[in-house]
């Protein structure tokens, strides 16, 4: 598994699509998951035997939390998903910089996403930060 992080609109997806042009794109931003089961099907229906680019990981965490899933349950699903695929690129926006939101839900979403990214980084074969379309190797 490969983990890419970076600010919004820093060229993460474009670079991934250039590097893995035949990869299947898994993008929560393009689907409407109205319930927990539908959100989990988003993961279950993803291919297992081809390169997969999971874009906007942070939106998956946000949606799962908003549907009442506990962080431990979300992590269990994410870890299982990552373990089942060796040809996986996870892309996530950096969301922990800047002003701390006043809303508790917004703070929780950022904190839980950060915790899951730390765990994904441990599992990952490679971690890179994409800045201005340029990858900077972290791990």
What SS3 state is found at 15? helix
Ranges of each domain in the chain: 2-100+112-137
- Residue 28 DSSP code: G
Q: What is the pLDDT of residue 31?
A: 62
Q: What is the pLDDT of residue 28?
A: 74
Q: What is the pLDDT of residue 30?
A: 60
Q: What is the pLDDT of residue 98?
A: 79
pLDDT 10s per residue in the chain (139 long)? 999 999 999 999 999 999 999 999 988 766 666 677 888 888 888 888 899 999 999 999 999 999 899 999 999 999 999 999 989 999 999 998 878 888 999 999 999 999 999 999 999 999 999 999 999 999 9
Q: What is the pLDDT of residue 112?
A: 97
Q: What is the pLDDT of residue 33?
A: 60
Q: What is the pLDDT of residue 32?
A: 63
Structure-token pair, residue 68: 């009442």
Q: What is the pLDDT of residue 97?
A: 80
Q: How far is CA 122 from the centre of its chain?
A: 14
- How far, in Å, CA of 107 to CA of 113, rounded? 10
Q: What is the pLDDT of residue 131?
A: 95
Q: What is the pLDDT of residue 11?
A: 96
CATH topology of domain 2-100+112-137: Rossmann fold (3.40.50)
- Indicate the burial class of 121 (C-beta count within 10 angstroms; 0-12, 13-18, 19 or more): middle
Q: What is the pLDDT of residue 118?
A: 97
- How far, in Å, CA of 34 to CA of 98, rounded? 30
């Amino acid at each position: 598994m490969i983990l890419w992080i970076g600010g919004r609109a820093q060229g993460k997806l474009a670079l991934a699509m250039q590097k893995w042009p035949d990869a299947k794109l898994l993008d929560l931003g393009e689907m409407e998951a109205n319930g927990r089961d539908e959100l989990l099907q988003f993961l279950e229906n993803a291919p297992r035997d081809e390169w997969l680019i999971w874009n906007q990981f942070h939106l998956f965490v946000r949606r799962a939390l908003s549907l009442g899933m506990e962080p431990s349950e979300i992590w269990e699903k994410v870890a299982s998903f990552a373990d089942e695929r060796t040809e996986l690129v996870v892309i996530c926006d950096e969301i922990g910089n800047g002003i701390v939101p006043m809303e508790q839900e917004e703070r929780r979403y950022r904190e839980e996403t950060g915790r899951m990214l730390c765990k994904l980084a441990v599992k990952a074969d490679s971690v890179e930060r994409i800045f201005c379309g340029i990858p900077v190797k972290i791990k």
